[in-house]
Amino acid sequence: MSKLNFPSFNYKDQPDYVREIISPPVTNAYSYVSNRLRETYESVLPKYLAAMKDLRILDYGCGVKPYRYVVEGVCREYIGADIGENANAEIQLQPGELLPFENESFDVVISSQVLEHVEEFDKYLNECNRVLRKGGLLFLSTHGTWQFHAAPYDFNRWTHLGLKSLLTRHGFEVIGCNPVLGQLAVPTQLRLAFFESFANSIGTVGKILF
């Protein structure tokens, strides 16, 4: 299977609650960022998984499993694990609880915008490494420069070199790094902050007028 004939996918076919995360409308302050992240996953996952099939995949910190649709065509089993009561997660963990899987249980681990919210990130990355088979792949995205957002917690930021160093220390070989915003991160945040403030003020006026 080559990249050219990777099983087709379309985010527009996903439920509303998924599309609201991966492709919010332009009226949403995070529309540009979310769509860029979606485009990155849609490019990177097929690039590395095109020659594979019958994969067992763990979405660690799965939320609504926003990028499952990209890999369903090469996936034998897709398991979501998350903290607390998440109806989308097959595995519901308590804070600090280890994954209930044997060593080398998965071909792929996906960690999308999770690491910055993990206080014990060393334990988290050790678990990612432990459950991956030899030669398995970790697809991890996290914030570099980004504003604080307590959803529910926001602990960490890394430069790309810092993130590479962190992953290497936990036994990973970094084979690719794909900036989502790069040098646009700071000006994008400023525009988002202005847009959100402006939208909120319009909303207030609207409430007064109507």
User: Which pLDDT band, with edges at 50, 70 and 90, does 208 fall under?
Assistant: very low
CB 71 within 8 A of CB 57: yes
pLDDT for 206 equals: 40
Q: How far apart are CA 32 and CA 130, in angstroms?
A: 35
Q: Confidence band (pLDDT; 50, 70, 90) for 146?
A: low
Q: Write the CA distances from 67 to 2, 64, 160, 175, 177, integer angstroms.
A: 20, 9, 22, 21, 18
Structure tokens at 57: 């995949």
Query: Is the pLDDT at 190 greater than 80, yes or no?
Result: no
Total Cβ atoms within 10 A of residue 62 = 24
Inter-residue contact 103 to 128 (CB < 8 Å): no
- Per DSSP, helices labelled H in the chain are 16-22, 31-49, 68-71, 121-131, 160-169, 185-209
Is pTM, for the whole model, over 0.75? yes
Split at pLDDT 50, 70, 90, the class of 123 is very high
Q: What does the mean pLDDT of the chain come to?
A: 86
3-class SS of residue 175: coil
pLDDT for residue 151: 63
180: confidence class by pLDDT, cuts 50, 70, 90: confident
The Cα–Cα gap between 13 and 189 comes to 29
Q: Which of 114-118, 119-123, 197-201 has the lowest mean pLDDT?
A: 197-201
Q: Tokens at residue 92, please?
A: 């519901």
- Report the percent of the chain where pLDDT is more than 70: 80
Does 196 score more than 70 pLDDT?
A: no
Determine the 3-state secondary structure of 40 from DSSP. helix
Question: Taking the domains of the chain in order of start, what are their residue ranges?
Answer: 3-181
- Sort strands 106-112 and 55-60 into parallel, antiparallel or unpaired: parallel
Q: Is 111 within 8 Å of 140 (Cβ atoms)?
A: yes
- Over residues 154-164, the mean pLDDT reads 84
Integer Cα distance of 188 and 53 in angstroms: 37
The reported pLDDT for the residue numbered 209 is 40
Is pLDDT at 184 greater than 90 in this prediction?
Answer: no
- Peptide bond just before 152 cis, omega within 30 deg: yes
Question: Where residue 187 falls among pLDDT bands split at 50, 70, 90?
Answer: low
User: Per-residue pLDDT for 201 more than 60?
Assistant: no
Residue range 173-192: mean pLDDT, rounded: 72
N residues, the chain: 210
Q: Which fold has domain 3-181?
A: Rossmann fold (3.40.50)
pLDDT digits over 13-61, tens only?
999 999 999 999 887 778 888 999 999 999 999 999 999 999 999 999 9
The pLDDT tens digits for 83-107 are 999 999 999 999 999 999 999 999 9
